[in-house]
Amino acid sequence: MKIVFATHNQHKLEEVRELLPSFVELLSLTDIGCLEEIPETGKTLEENAKIKADYVTSTFGLNCFSDDTGLLIDALHGAPGVYSARYAGTQKSTPDNIAKVLREMESTNNRAAHFKTVVHLNLKNESYSFDGIVEGNITKKKYGTGGFGYDPIFKPEGHEVTFGEMSPEIKNAISHRGRAIRKLMAFFEKIEQ
């Protein structure tokens, strides 16, 4: 089964490709010739995931899934949330985003946060949604160089290291995206039977 993952992000593409069953052939936006950035104008992660999947399905006529992920920090009232990728500005700079979060949290001891991923799937004229959440804490500085985004400052609950210090295999086993994609994978396997 061929399906488009509505992303240009190679890190995300590889992360997801490792999790999907072998009968799913994963295509990126680049693979289908969609070179533009699809505007994420939703006010929630769910809305943004749906907007991207719907754009690919309506424009290219292809089955597609899309995700949107946010880091939600208790002390920042859920920020950066839906604006996680562009928290420090439209240039979408990871170092700037991390610096802004750390700066805004300097005076708080409440480090609780969670990552949430929402996956929206358009398949054969039907729509489905899956989510994954991982609880954790924001560290006071960056640790590790692995992963991407806020991974070097997010320490998942029950672990002594950040996502940025974990191997991709360990991160995928416990991450928000991994949890959402496993729900998607279970759905694919169910419909293949």
| Domain residue extents for the chain | 2-192
Say whether 67 is catalytic: no
Residue 1 confidence (pLDDT): 85
Res 84: pLDDT: 95
* H or E stretch at 119: strand 112-123
134, 179 contact by CB (below 8 A): yes
Distance CA 85, CA 83 (A): 6
Q: Can you read off the two tokens belonging to residue 45?
A: 């992660």
| 150, 102 contact by CB (below 8 A) | no
Give residue for tokens 């994420």.
Answer: 40
Q: Tell me the one-letter amino acid at 62.
A: L
Q: Quote the tokens at residue 122.
A: 């358009």
Q: What is the mean pLDDT of each run of 10 residues along the chain (193 residues)?
A: 91 81 89 90 95 96 96 97 93 94 96 97 96 98 92 97 93 90 89 68
Q: Which of 68, 74, 96, 151 is catalytic?
A: 68
Cα separation, 150 vs 154, whole angstroms:
6
- Tokens 């590889």 locate to 14
Is it true that domain 2-192 has CATH number 3.90.950.10?
Answer: yes
pLDDT at 193: 57
The C-alpha atoms of residue 167 and residue 79 are separated, in whole angstroms, by 27
- Indicate the residue type of 21: P
- pTM exceeds 0.85, yes or no: yes
Transcribe 38-75 into DSSP letters: PP---SSHHHHHHHHHHHHHHHH---EEEEEEEEEEGG
What pLDDT is recorded for position 116? 97
Residue 90: per-residue pLDDT: 87
In the Cβ-directed half-sphere of 65, how many Cα atoms lie within 13 Å? 30
